[in-house]
């Protein structure tokens, strides 16, 4: 009898529910439900419609039942850093605010007046992004102290969705590390740090690790579906799940390519040296207490916004094709410039940057897309050089995973710019990593090593060889 596990992967641009089963030494996926995700203005803040997301999760579960499939387990992963606060009645004190909301502008620098950047990095090993949870809570304490005063429970986005399913409260480790409030060495909430910032440490929950069975569906939820199932913790930070599916870690730099590009390597210990701080790399927690030594690059968010700017008249494939045709456009922007985090109009922001830097201004969708892909590839190359500088060795290849691995033009650009072969895929790497954690919890797969062997023979990977650079 086939044992199904249901992965819920909600990224910043889309969510999907994918059934996974292991049979004949291979992992089989079946997408059941897909939906858009985006930020909406709610009152003063750019927020997530988390109850709409929960509705979509339930719609996907109903679709499983309609197919006659009752999964044995479910696991939820989402984007990082964002959270909810519950009052003493376990009600939401406010809608979850998006990390792209400007409420944290300038807050990181204010925190440095209390805790030095160096101490923060030495203790947490986490990259400095102004939207990290630590700065979101600091902003909330300044802007709405009354909300923090009423907060009895802190749950990150997947934690809260798990709470709605099970009634159980827990903070999952990989996502908790993205807050910059977890000590990289103790792997627990850094209570001294919280005390220094005047943040109530009692609202944080016990940290649980991936492949832990959190509980089962609440009775009323199970009755709604007509069946129950185990709720298992995957690496609930989506990138944490994605990198589990990288078939071969040795000598490989991964790029988890979705709304963000997360470029890095798997490591067995945190690297908190000054050079890593200066390069702004992070040591996010991974499965089995591995570390994800990586950095955020603005990613395909930029082309998502360009697509929106052109009223979605072009598909991603169209934009890639048009970029490929815009061969005379060579302008490069610093994709990590703060102006690209949440511009009013991405095309205008890119054009302005090119004007400011006296470069040809991209004027049509193809030229804009070409500029984005060239600029992303250039940023990836810089990060590859930084990683090799820190590890004092060369890495043999790059593995692009996630939706962006479908961008053949960008994959080739990456190979050419880095002069390294690029493996592209799996596309649904995050869901695969999510399912792997569930299968380990169910005992169908022994460990991550066995899972990677199964993944390697289950999904086709296309390799792009670098074009030899003309001398």
Ligand X SMILES: C[C@H](O)[C@H](O)[C@@H](O)C(=O)COP(=O)(O)O
* Catalytic positions, written as ranges: 238
Among 6, 7, 8, 12, binds ligand ADP (CB under 6 A): 12
The binder of 80, among Mg ion, ligand X, ligand ADP, none, by C-beta within 5 to 8 A per type, is: ligand X
| Spatial distance between the Cα atoms of 92 and 304, rounded to a whole number of angstroms | 30
Residue 239 labelled as part of a binding site: yes
* 212 in a labelled binding site: no
434 has binding-site annotation: no
Residue 406 binds to ligand ADP (criterion: CB under 6 A): yes
Task: Give the x-and-dash track for 212-251 against ligand X (CB under 6 A).
Answer: --------------------------xx------------
Q: Which residues pair with 232 in a beta bridge?
A: 213
The verdict on 296 binding ligand X (CB under 6 A) reads yes
List the one residue out of 165, 155, 168, 170 whose CA is nearest residue 81: 155
Choose, by CB under 6 A, the member of 234, 240, 404, 425 that binds ligand ADP.
Answer: 404
CB 223, min distance to ligand X, A: 33
Based on the shown chain and the rule CB under 6 A, indicate whether residue 433 belongs to the binding site for ligand X. Answer: no
Consult the annotation and say whether 238 binds a ligand.
yes
133 is in an annotated binding site: no
Asked if 402 is part of the footprint of ligand ADP (rule: CB under 6 A), the reply reads: yes
For position 79 contacting ligand X by CB under 6 A, the verdict is yes
Distance of closest approach, residue 120 Cβ to ligand X, in angstroms: 17
Rounded-to-integer distance, Cα 87 and Cα 92, Å: 7
Q: Helix/strand/coil (H, E, C) string of 6-71? A: EEEEECCCEEEEEEEEEECCEEEEEEEEEEECCCEEECCEEECCHHHHHHHHHHHHHHHHHCCCCC
Which residue in the set 238, 284, 367, 386 belongs to the binding site for Mg ion (CB under 5 A)?
A: 238
CA–CA gap between residue 435 and residue 29 (Å, rounded): 9
Residue whose token pair is 């302008």: 331
The answer to whether the annotation marks 16 as part of a ligand binding site is yes
Q: Sign (positive/negative) of CA torsion 197, 199, 200, 204?
A: negative
CB of 178 to ligand X, least distance (A): 6
What is d(CA 321, CA 311) in angstroms, rounded to the nearest whole number? 18
- Helices H / strands E in the chain, number of each: 18, 19
Q: In angstroms, rounded to a whole number, what is the distance separating the alpha carbons of residues 215 and 400?
A: 34
- Applying CB under 5 A, does 258 fall inside the site for Mg ion? yes
Instruction: Determine if 304 is a binding residue for ligand X (CB under 6 A).
Output: no
Q: Which one of Mg ion, ligand X, ligand ADP, none is in contact with 138 (Cβ closer than 5 to 8 A by kind)?
A: none
- For 63-175, strand residue ranges (E) read 73-78, 83-86, 153-156, 171-172
Of 99, 135, 189, 281, the residue at the interface with ligand X (CB under 6 A) is 99
Residues forming contacts to ligand ADP in the complex (CB under 6 A) are: 11-14, 258-259, 300, 303-304, 316-317, 320, 402-404, 406-407
Residues forming contacts to ligand X in the complex (CB under 6 A) are: 11-12, 79-81, 99, 238-239, 258-260, 262, 296
């Amino acid at each position: 009898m086939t044992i199904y596990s249901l992965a819920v992967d909600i990224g910043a641009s889309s969510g999907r529910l994918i059934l996974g089963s292991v049979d004949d030494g291979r992992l089989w996926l079946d997408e059941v439900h897909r939906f858009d995700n985006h930020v909406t203005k709610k009152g003063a803040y750019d927020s997530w419609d988390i109850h709409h997301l929960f509705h979509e999760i339930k719609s996907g579960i109903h679709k499983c039942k309609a197919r006659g499939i009752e999964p044995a387990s479910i696991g939820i992963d989402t984007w990082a850093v964002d959270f909810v606060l519950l009052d003493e009645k376990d009600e939401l004190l406010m809608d979850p605010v998006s990390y792209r909301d400007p409420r944290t502008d300038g807050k990181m620098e204010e925190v440095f007046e209390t805790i030095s950047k160096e101490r923060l990095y030495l203790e947490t090993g986490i990259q400095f992004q102004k939207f990290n949870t630590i700065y979101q809570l600091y902003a909330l304490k300044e802007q709405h102290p009354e909300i923090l005063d009423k907060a009895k429970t802190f749950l990150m986005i997947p934690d809260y969705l798990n709470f709605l399913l099970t009634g159980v409260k827990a903070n999952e480790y990989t996502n908790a590390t993205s807050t910059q409030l977890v000590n990289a060495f103790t792997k627990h909430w850094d209570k001294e740090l919280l005390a220094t910032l005047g943040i109530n440490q009692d609202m944080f929950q016990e940290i649980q690790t991936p492949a832990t069975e959190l509980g089962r569906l609440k009775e009323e939820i199970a009755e709604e579906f007509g069946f129950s199932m185990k709720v298992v913790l995957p690496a609930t930070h989506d990138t944490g799940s994605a990198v589990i599916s990288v078939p071969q870690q040795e000598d490989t730099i991964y790029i988890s390519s979705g709304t963000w590009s997360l470029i890095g390597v798997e490591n067995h210990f945190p690297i908190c040296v000054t050079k890593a701080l200066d390069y702004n790399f992070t040591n996010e927690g991974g499965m089995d207490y591995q570390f994800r030594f990586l950095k955020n690059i603005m990613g395909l968010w930029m082309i998502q916004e360009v697509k929106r700017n052109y009223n979605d008249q072009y598909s991603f494939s169209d934009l890639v094709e048009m970029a490929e045709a815009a061969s005379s456009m060579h302008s490069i922007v610093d994709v990590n410039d703060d102006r690209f985090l949440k511009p009013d109009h991405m095309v205008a922001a890119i054009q302005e940057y090119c004007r400011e830097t006296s470069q040809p201004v991209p004027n049509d969708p193809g030229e804009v897309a070409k500029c984005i892909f060239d600029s992303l590839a250039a940023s990836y190359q810089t990060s590859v050089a930084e990683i090799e500088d820190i590890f004092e060795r060369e890495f043999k290849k790059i593995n692009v995973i996630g939706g962006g691995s479908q961008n053949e033009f960008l994959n080739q650009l990456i190979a050419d710019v880095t002069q390294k072969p690029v493996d592209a895929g799996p596309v649904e790497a995050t869901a695969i990593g999510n399912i792997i954690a569930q299968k380990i919890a169910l005992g169908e797969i022994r460990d991550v090593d066995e899972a990677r062997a199964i993944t390697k023979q289950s999904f086709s990977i296309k390799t792009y060889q670098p074009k030899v650079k003309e001398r």
